[in-house]
Structure formats: structure tokens, C-alpha cells
């Protein structure tokens, strides 16, 4: 990998800043002052220091956001704030994007990454990664709804696979697990059984639960244990 790419991926400087840093002798590779920003280095072996501080390389980041209402699951939008605005400055250079989508009024667990393969894996309906939601309905759910969810549902543009509906002690509060993430899927499935969703929060993706201690609107990197839960091996 080129030295300037390595340094910018580490978040230590932008590519144009790297040029200046190299010029004034602030960058060393294995103890020797680097002469040019475009030299090739081995990111797994070479020790790169900027102004004496060693850099640790990471190509991909995996972040957890506790999404608040009012944000669009996108990287830019003309009319509304977007979830990437909530990403702290230290991750800005990774250019993360949301993994799948939550509606503007849905809260809870949203992952952000710059790893396209991971995104594809997590959002592919073929992988059967269930997404778990807590929903508050305008009417109590009924036992027969459980079977209707279990049988899957046909919609105009797709067929929802078998979904799990769990009714809590308060029957207007339910947990729903779906394997896909089609547009307004949970809301549409609830409408099919005659209920409107008045509050929706994603509480887990596969085996990964939302960290309930993460405040709404806050972002943090996934821990290594959490990444393993999702099948990513750091
Ligand atoms: N289903 C919905 O209806 N909305 C979401 O935000 C996610 C799933």
C-alpha cells in the first residue's frame, strides 16, 4: 500500500497533509525518514511513525449507532439530517455508510461501516440474519397474528419470509423478527393484520443486541466480541 494512503486511512492526516509531513521529515518507516509520500509499504509489517507516534492500520471500521428519530439512513440528503452526521470526527476519513436502512421515525440499532462486503452480507435476505424490532401498536396484537406472521406475507413487490411475532404482557407492545429489510416492512406487516405501528425501535441484528447504555444519537466502534457475534473476525 502507498504510504500516503496508509497514513490517511489511519486518520493521522489527509493525503495532501502527508505530502507536507514527508517533506519536512516527520514520517519514518522502520525508523528511516520517508523521502516520498507514494512509496510502497507493507501495512502488516512496517512500522510507520508520524512525528514520533506509531500508527495502527485499520482498513475497515464497524460502528454501532443508537439511531434517534429525525435522521435519514443515508450519507446525504437535501431535506433531512442524515445518520452519518452523528459519526464523530475521528471516523470521518473512513467514509462510512449505513448498513441497511431504518425509517426516519425508527430508532435503535444501526450499523455503519466502510466495508462493502460486510454490508452485502448483513443485508442479503439469503443469509437469514434476523433483525429484531420492538413495536408499539395502536391496537392490541392477537394470538392469530402470530400464525399470520409465521406464514410469511405476499406484498406487491416482494414476499416477506416467515417472521416471528412475540406478544408481551401489554398486547399492544410486541417484538417482531424479520429476515429481510424491505421498505417499511414491519409497518406493512402490522398493517396487514389491522394494526398501525406508532413506535418502532430495532433492538438486535442477528446475535448482536443494541447496547442500551449507548445514548440516543451516539456512535461507538463495535468491540471485538461484538464483531465476532456478527461473523467478522478482527
Ligand atoms: N420496518 C419498518 O417498517 N421500518 C423500519 O425502519 C425498519 C423495518
Query: Would you give per-residue pLDDT tens digits along the chain (234 residues)?
Result: 899 988 988 878 888 899 999 999 999 999 999 999 999 999 889 999 999 999 988 889 999 999 999 999 999 999 999 999 999 988 888 999 999 999 999 999 999 999 999 999 999 988 889 999 999 999 999 999 999 999 999 999 999 999 999 999 999 999 999 999 999 999 999 999 999 999 999 999 999 999 999 999 999 999 989 999 998 776
- What pLDDT sits at residue 93? 83
Tell me which residue has its CA closest to atom 3 in ligand 1: 184
Q: Is the CB of 102 under 6 A from ligand 1?
A: yes
In whole angstroms, how far apart are CA 105 and each of 2, 67, 68, 149?
Answer: 43, 10, 8, 23
- What pLDDT sits at residue 177? 98
- What pLDDT sits at residue 43? 85
E strand residue ranges, the chain: 27-29, 32-33, 48-50, 53-54, 62-67, 97-98, 107-113, 131-137, 153-154, 159-160, 164-167, 173-178, 197-205, 208-209, 219-221
- What pLDDT sits at residue 152? 96
The Å distance, Cα 196 to ligand 1 centre, comes to: 12
| Mutational pocket test of ligand 1: of 184, 203, 205, the residue with most ligand atoms within 8 Å of the beta carbon | 184
- What pLDDT sits at residue 115? 95
CA of 188, closest atom in ligand 1: 3
Q: Is the CB of 114 under 6 A from ligand 1?
A: no
- What pLDDT sits at residue 214? 98
DSSP 101: -
Under a CB-based contact definition with an 8 Å cutoff, are residues 96 and 88 in contact?
Answer: no
Under a CB-based contact definition with an 8 Å cutoff, are residues 32 and 77 in contact?
Answer: no
- What pLDDT sits at residue 90? 84
- What pLDDT sits at residue 221? 94
Tell me which residue has its CA closest to atom 1 in ligand 1: 186
Tell me which residue has its CA closest to atom 7 in ligand 1: 102
Q: Is the CB of 109 under 6 A from ligand 1?
A: no
The Å distance, Cα 50 to ligand 1 centre, comes to: 45
Catalytically active residues are 103
- What pLDDT sits at residue 38? 94
Amino acid at each position: 500500500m502507498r504510504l500516503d494512503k496508509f497514513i490517511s486511512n489511519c486518520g493521522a492526516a489527509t493525503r495532501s497533509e502527508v505530502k507536507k509531513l514527508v517533506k519536512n521529515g516527520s514520517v519514518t518507516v522502520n525508523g528511516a525518514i520517508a523521502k516520498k509520500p507514494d512509496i510502497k509499504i507493507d501495512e502488516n509489517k512496517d512500522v510507520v511513525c508520524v512525528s514520533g507516534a506509531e500508527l495502527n492500520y485499520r482498513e475497515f471500521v464497524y460502528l454501532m449507532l443508537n439511531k434517534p428519530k429525525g435522521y435519514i439512513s443515508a450519507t446525504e440528503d437535501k431535506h433531512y439530517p442524515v445518520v452519518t452526521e452523528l459519526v464523530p470526527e475521528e471516523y470521518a476519513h473512513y467514509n462510512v455508510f449505513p448498513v441497511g436502512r431504518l425509517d426516519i421515525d425508527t430508532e435503535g440499532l444501526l450499523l455503519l461501516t466502510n466495508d462493502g462486503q460486510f454490508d452485502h452480507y448483513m443485508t442479503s435476505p439469503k443469509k437469514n440474519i434476523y433483525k429484531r424490532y420492538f413495536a408499539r401498536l395502536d391496537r392490541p396484537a392477537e394470538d392469530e397474528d402470530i400464525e399470520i406472521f409465521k406464514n410469511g406475507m405476499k406484498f406487491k413487490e416482494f414476499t416477506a419470509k416467515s417472521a416471528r411475532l412475540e406478544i408481551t404482557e401489554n398486547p399492544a407492545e410486541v417484538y417482531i423478527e424479520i429476515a429481510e429489510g424491505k421498505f417499511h416492512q414491519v409497518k406493512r406487516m402490522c398493517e396487514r393484520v389491522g394494526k398501525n405501528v406508532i413506535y418502532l425501535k430495532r433492538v438486535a441484528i442477528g446475535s448482536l443486541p443494541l447496547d442500551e447504555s449507548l445514548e440516543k444519537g451516539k456512535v461507538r466502534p463495535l468491540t471485538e466480541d461484538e464483531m465476532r457475534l456478527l461473523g467478522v473476525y478482527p
